[in-house]
Homo-oligomer: A and B are copies of this chain.
């Protein structure tokens, strides 16, 4: 880190800082300009160090230099490829995860699962626990929903992704699902993240709507440092002043995550825009940005969906999207993961 001293600060205050740096095992490099002294401190700094030195007399500000994440970093590992039930996420293919926002019943779920598989989806999605802004909204089928997901996975052979919202449900969810999702509202629920570090299943970590890319990677660092290296990053839109869309889908996060970390990146254009009309163009855009996967909401009859109907595609529109994705991935020299199983 770099410590910038106030203008024309006296020598004594500079010494106080350098002594304190020494105590904390930093190498010190002084740059004394005409008006201002800058102190370079080389060593393993923590957030506490940044805070501490910012409070010392004579210090104007402390500038962190090295990124705070380690295990998630590309310097630590080249690439993480997730493999589950014969399906791959990361490593150069495009993996499409599809299904309704919420699980609403066995019949309906099995039907849509078969439809999205036929169109080429490689994984299934569906919420058994639903975080809802209003306490008066449908909150999910819970255990019953998990069982439906597991049955759909068994019948289609596709792995299933679902959200876990509470550490107390962790074991139960892990029993039925193949990939556990952390919702955007829970991205900084650190007790949940640490628990996810202890299970043996991949975790899909959605970006919080107000989380910087660095904070998002730090949340992944929580999971990895607790013992689980299989983390998938999912961009689903950040909060901005724009009100036309539900969120502002930050596609630049895709190449940035791939540059800074070794983790695969999935994009969720359904939550990211909140409007089905935008799902297709933003899916193609996400593939252009280099994502490893897409997470798409599909519902037989969005008008009757119990949650997030306006952002769900019908099976027909999903089929059309898959056709376009096929052409586009081919043009970019990629292949659609699991596409060979469709209609198979």
Contacts and interface: CB of A to CB of B under 8 A. Distances in A.
Report which residue of A7, A40, A55, A135 has the largest number of chain B beta carbons within 10 angstroms of its beta carbon.
A135
A210 B212 contact: no
A262 B280 CA distance: 20
A46 B134 contact: yes
Given A48-B138, A66-B36, A241-B241, A273 B285 contact: no
B48 A307 contact: yes
Given A66-B36, A134-B46, A213 B191 contact: no
A178 interface: no
Given A240-B238, A251-B285, A282-B289, A52 B212 contact: no
Interface in A4-58: 4, 7, 27, 29-31, 33-34, 36, 38, 40, 42-43, 46-48, 51-52, 54-56
B285 A218 contact: no
A335 interface: no
Given A33-B42, A278-B256, A240 B248 contact: yes
A286 B290 CA distance: 12
B241 A65 contact: no
Interface in A329-344: 330-332
A56 to B, nearest CB: 6
A292 interface: no
A107 interface: no
A54 B302 CA distance: 10
B289 A284 contact: yes
Interface stretch (A81-89, A91-99, A198-206, A221-229): A221-229
B51 A212 contact: no
A77 interface: no
A34 to B, nearest CB: 8
A190 B48 contact: no
A68 B114 CA distance: 37
Interface stretch (A118-126, A145-153, A165-173): A165-173
Given A138-B48, A212-B244, A249-B252, A188 B221 contact: no
A303 B55 contact: yes
Given A188-B131, A210-B241, A238-B240, A33 B38 contact: no
A51 B310 CA distance: 6
Interface in A281-308: 281-290, 302-308
